[in-house]
Each structure stands twice: as structure tokens, then as C-alpha cells.
Structure 1
Amino acid sequence: MTKAFVVGHPIKHSRSPLIHGYWLKRYGLDGSYERIDVAPVDFGDFLKDFPSRGFAGGNVTIPHKEMAFLNVERRTAQAQRVGAVNTLWIDDGVLWGDNTDVAGFMAHLDGSLGTGWEQEVETALVLGAGGAARAVVAGLQDRPLKRIFVANRTSSKAEDLVADLRPGSPVGLETSAWEALPRVIPHARLIVNTTSLGMAGQPPLALDLARAPRNAAVADIVYVPLATPLLAAAAAQNLRTVDGLGMLLHQAVPGFRRWFGVTPEVTPELRALILADIEGHR
């Protein structure tokens, strides 16, 4: 039996076991996927020990993605670029790390907006400068955009992100001061929130979208609640919206394929299963 995990601290609210459990059942595979709560001080030891516990690999979530990046033996190009690891596996005794958030976000964006959406987007605005923002920016850099603005309440973090991802970028990458957002929004045909603002228990993200381009799209990687205040404000302006659940579902695909040997599908049934769980824990 193949065993995999998701590791974080805290971890009890992770939906990853539901996602992978659904796929294991759907494809009739002999495997398991479990939550493991590991405090940051113990994470290094966990990385060394998990193969001896019979695990083929697993997912890494908050707050361990940067520590995983520093402690794996080999990294994919995507993980190296983003500076964070969310997927682990053992290959010939070597601990590898990948970042599947990039592919997860872009797959959901393509599915929500349709192929070719980037032909209408010259300028994108990414809010936040953490690991998720790095994955989003990296994904957008691979599309034929002209400019990406990064804005964060702590401006130095945005400056660090841009400094790390700008070298060799085919897309212009710039920072924007948070207070300058009203001047950027009218030019941004794609706006992506990667901050925790709008998440259940957090303050809302207050953006004036009245001056956003009429055909703009607004994405939020927060998925609890699914309809965040930002997405509600976007819908009120008749803008296209992209919720945060699809990124969670699509980023899980590469890891499952690597551990269990089957490429799983993100289906409406799976999405409905996770939505029902979210609604049940309100």
C-alpha cells in the first residue's frame, strides 16, 4: 500500500485528505493519505524520518514550505524559481521537492476564464508577497503579458519578490505601493488576491473596483469563504470572478500522480464534495 501525507501546523482543517481520499476511491487504488501535525522545530527531523515510516511522499503546507525548500536534497526548476516547496517524494533514495501551486493556479485560471484569456490582458496586479504570490507571479510570467504589478502592505516583501523573480523575466515586473493601488487598478485587466484579507476571521480586502476595466477578471486564492468580499465587490461591478477552490484542487494533481501512479481528474463531483465540507464547518 502506498502512503502519502500532508504536513503542516496546524493541520486539522486541511482539505487535502478529502481530495486525495476521493481520488484513491475513484481509481480503486490501495493507498492512504493522512494529516500530520508537525511543529516548526521538529520539521527538519520529520523530513529525514518520513521515508522510514513507509511514506512515498506528501504535501507541505503552512508554515513549512520555505523550510522544505531549504531542506530537500533536489528541487525542480519550478520550486527553485518560486523559493518554496509544497510537494515531496523520494526518488532513488533522494528527497525531491516541487512547487505545484504555479500549475494549480494557472490551470484553474485557464479553466475559469477560457484559453486565450491572456490575449486581452496587458497588465496584471498581484496583491501580497508571500509564497502564494510568488507562485502566481511565476505562472503569469509564462504568459504573454506586458506588466505585472506586485503590491503588499509591507512594501519590502514586494520588493524582495520582484528582485528574486525579475531576472530573465519576459514580462515587466514592478512593485506598487499599497496606497497607489487606485492608480494601478484602472490598468489591470487581471487582479489576483493572494493575501489572507477576506479569509474567514480576517478583515476584508477593501478595494475600489469601480474604476477597474470593464472586462477585467478578479481572482482570489482564499476559498473559505468561497465568495470573498473582494469577489462579491467584483461581481457587483459585473467583472469576471475566479474563486480560490480550483487552485487547491488542481495543485493536488501532480503529487497524486507521482505517489500513486495515476493522473487524477478535477471533477464537478470533487468540487461539490469539498464545498459541502466547507459549508459543514461554518
Structure 2
Amino acid sequence: MVSTPSTTDKQVGRGLLVAAILIFAIAIGGLTITGQHSVRFSSDESAEPYPLWMPLTSALIVLLLTRVVPARLAALDPFADIDRQRLTREVWVLVGAALAFPALVITATVAGIPRDAVYIPIKILMFLVIPLLAFRAFRRGVPQAPKVHWIGRLDRTRTLAPIVPVVAWILLARLGPLAPPALAPGSLPDSVTIAVASVLTLLTAGVLEEVFYRGFLQTRLESLVGRWPAIATSATLFAAMHIASHVHMSTLAVDLASIVAVQGTFGVMQGYLWSRYRNIWAPIAIHIAVNLIYLDLLMVGT
């Protein structure tokens, strides 16, 4: 079942969508006009830049595949039966947490605390602990609050159809012609550090970020203002998260435009995957592949 946004919600949704489109247009257009045609997907300084058209093309291909596989698929709104006032309150908490994350990481870094020491703890606090506490608080006192199952049993179509765009993205954008340059083996740490870092990144980026931005935030926004305003808004906030790791004062304008063009577009792709299939494992699989250093080793080895 899908809820129908009110007239006011539709107006808010249109405003959010227009604002996001302008942000993306300014970022991508600005990079193109100023000749900044190369971008970095990773925050690793040793990562080599690659052409902007490559991540944009891979995202577009996945969007198209997601739309046509299968041709018809009913939209699902896991929050259709939830009180809209409660959803609105939860969205405000989630938006606040999304904005607070880069602000807190930057503040800690400016104060002299190493970014690596605070990045994961702040992420867990903002993206998991605070949302769960807020959800519990807003449910308190609500008679027979309906249970939300946005991670549950999937039908055959929603289980199998996402395999097509997910595999296509990994083959094209991670292992194939649209992939960024693999990290040089000499720039990688020892095997134990790689293993530990891979597990932490898998859990806090591949899983937690998708649960927060797509499962928690986007799904509620979709129920309130509609699919595309929700996808665009959550993708913009997802891009903003990378301010803490990808933006430098010496190249502020270019870096801000780059995270919108690259991470923001990636967020749109992930958001549509989630919205159409309601299979959270599809965006999680892609996100894990993004950060899996072992794929770089495989690419170098071949």
C-alpha cells in the first residue's frame, strides 16, 4: 500500500525536488564549465582521479536497468499506516543527525582529535543510536502503534530482479571499463589492517549508511512527500556526509561540487534501487563493493 501525500506535502516535495535538482545542476555544470573533468570516488589521497562521466554513466545505466527490470512493479510504502505527525518528527531527527555528523567530525578534527578516532563512534551515534532512541520515544504512548517491516520477507521478483542492476554495476563500475583506478599495492597497509578496516567499513558504511539514508530517512520522506523528492533529498544529505572526509579548504568549491556530482549521484542510484525493489540488500551489496579493498587487489592482479 502507498500513502497519498497531502497538497501541502506535495508542495514541500516539489520544493525539495527543485532545490536538489538545482544543487546537482550547479555542481555538475560547474565542474564541466570550469574544466574540472576528473574526480575521486575515494577520500584516500593515493586514489587517482578519473573522468566524471564514468560514475555518472554507471549510475545512469543502473537507474535504467532498475526501471525496466521488471517493467511493472507495484510501489510499496512500509510507513503508509504510520501517523504522519510521528513520521514528520522522526524525519526532523534524522535530518538533524545527518547534518550533525559531518559537523561533529569536522569540529573534533579542528580541536586536534584525529579524524580516524572519532569518525566511526560519531557515525554509530548519529546514524544508529539517536535514530533508534527517537523512534522508541515517538512510539511511546501511541495506542497499538503499527509495526513497520521494511526489512522482511521479499517476494520472488523483489528478491531476484535487483541482481541484474547490482551485478551490472559491479561489472561496469567496480571491475570493468567504468571503474576508478585501482589502488596501488604499495599504498595499501598490511593484511591484518586491511582485514580489520574492511570489516569496519562493511558494517559502518556498506550496511549502516544504507540503513540510515535509505531505510530510515528516505522511506519516511517517501511516505510524506513522494518518491523522487525523497530520493533527491536523502541523496543530497548523503553527499553532505562526505564533507567530513572529502572536502579541503584549499579546494573547497571543487570538492563540494565533486561530492554532489559523484556521491550525490551514487545516492540517487541507491535510493531508486531501494524505492523500487524495497530490497535493502541491493544497495548494501553495491555499497560494500565500493569500499571492498580486495576488489582493488583483484583488479591489480589481473
TM-score (norm 1): 0.24
State TM-score, norm by structure 2.
Answer: 0.23
Higher strand share: 1
Higher helix share: 2
